[in-house]
Chains A and B, each alone.
Chain A
Amino acid sequence: MSRMNEREKLLYRVQQFGFMTDDIRLFLNTHPACEEAFCALKYFMDAEKEAKEDYEKRYGALTLEGIDGCRGYEWIDGVWPWEVEE
């Protein structure tokens, strides 16, 4: 955590909320009637969406939907997930 730069910290929020939705979704697949889990899923999906928008505003698109019309085609720019920034 301590060695994270500003970009990575913002991305980490997306990863945290994204992980919560992934994990809860797996749980719901075998417990589809669990209302508590379904409420949690909706909460974390919203949180992930918000975190994604925060990140994309500053560092570019995470998905094709995240492309900002004013900045042009930015999909090929920026750091790819396996790259280490020097």
Chain B
Amino acid sequence: MWTYEKKLQYPVKIACPNPALAKAIISQFGGPDGELAASMRYLSQRYTMPYKEGIATLTDVGTEELAHMEMICAIVHQLTRDMTPEEIKRHGFAEYYVDHTAALWPQAAGGTPFSATFFQSKGDPITDLHENMAAEQKARTTYDNIIRLTDDPDVLDPIRFLRERELVHFQRFGETLRIVQDRLDSKNYYAFNPAFDYGKRRAEASECRKEYRQDNQKEQNKEKECRPDHQMQMHSCDQTHTLYFGRNAAYDGNTGKPLRNYR
């Protein structure tokens, strides 16, 4: 669960409203590289992360992104306060105003609504961590772009803070990736999904999953019957690659019998 603290992670206090600038900055709320997507990305990915360091990092960074979303919303809110209809028209804010008045609604700067397609939760920690490192860089670039659009120190100060956090998160995800790669099964040369294939092997070894194992065996026998070329059989990924790369076939290609000294 989560609890709320009645404070921002870093102060936001903007003296001069600027609806045109708010329209650009709102992208870091609901845009493709925004804080909402970042938070949902990490908090969705953590359930299939197999290592405790990774789970903690995804949980804490995902939580911090919620605090960043709140800072972005505070910036947009303060930039759009006390607007007159004339200011709304002059600052090009009419398209947003007509649907949302001065409320916060997650959209990209160009008006595209927030979408879960902005992030991926792939169930492979190596894939997910590469996605996360790329996402932190994309968010950093977006903050760079925002910094070029304004010289208001009240806006630049919190935006620079948020930009720096992207760098720190990139660093932490890089370390997490190293930890995950260090722990790969030494036989898993090609870094196949350690979350899924590991789970499958564990399920096969477990007493309480006998049924699963028997069903699996039946399936494999069926496959053997209709496909005499046993070298094509699919097993867990790291087994498959030994077949594909001809290093050490699990089944004898001529007799179809399992090799005793396999690995």
Contact = CB atoms under 8 A, between A and B. Distances in A.
Contact of A14 (B7, B15, B60): B7
B3 A63 contact: yes
Contacts of A32: 53
B12 A63 contact: no
Contacts of A30: 53, 57, 172, 175-176, 179
A11 B56 contact: no
A15 B157 CA distance: 15
Given A26-B57, A26-B60, A30-B57, A61 B6 contact: yes
Contact of B61 (A8, A12, A26, A81): A26
Contacts, number: 74
User: By DSSP majority rule, is chain A's interface helix, strand, loop, or mixed?
Assistant: helix
B60 A25 contact: yes
Interface string A54-84: 0000000111100000000000001011101
14 contacts: A3-B13, A18-B9, A19-B9, A22-B60, A22-B64, A27-B172, A29-B57, A29-B172, A29-B176, A62-B5, A63-B6, A81-B6, A82-B12, A82-B73
Interface of B: 3-15, 53, 56-57, 60-61, 64, 70, 73-74, 77-78, 81, 168-169, 172, 175-176, 179
